[in-house]
Amino acid sequence: MSAPFCRKHLSIEGLLKEAHRVFRRIPDAPGHDIALVDHLMSGLALFGLKYPSLLQFDQDCREETTRANLKALYGIEQAPSDTRLRERLDELDPSHVRPLYKALL
């Protein structure tokens, strides 16, 4: 059983770091140019930043400022396109993200 969260982990920074830590542990299939953790964190950023669509997120990711913010806030090295994001997340077994829910509850 994991240790309970301290109060500092209840901040958005703490929650995102925990998500990144859990997502890094998910096995990534070889042969992809963008890491699975970047796909997962991009999906989290998409909802966290309240983008109205994947397309809008994809378009904004082409801007230097957005890329810098995604790296600073979410630890995303390279944001995938909307199509690649869908493809990679669709093939992911949902049980792999369960540890994040367990860690946060």
Beta-carbon contacts of 23 under 8 Å, excluding residues fewer than 6 positions away, are: 36, 37, 40, 41, 97, 100
For position 40, what pLDDT does the model report?
Answer: 97
- Band of residue 29 on the pLDDT scale cut at 50, 70, 90: confident
The CB density around residue 13, as the number of other CB atoms within 10 Å, is 11
**Best CA proximity match to 61, nearest among 87, 74, 92:** 74
For the segment 27-40, the average pLDDT, to the nearest whole number, is 93
Helix (H) or strand (E) holding 51: none
With 90 as the cut, is the pLDDT of residue 6 above it? no
For the segment 4-24, the average pLDDT, to the nearest whole number, is 80
Q: What is the pLDDT of the chain when averaged over all its residues?
A: 89
C-alpha to C-alpha distance for 5 and 103, rounded to whole angstroms: 8
Boundaries of every domain in the chain = 7-104
For position 98, what pLDDT does the model report?
Answer: 92
For position 94, what pLDDT does the model report?
Answer: 92
Say what the pTM is: 0.86
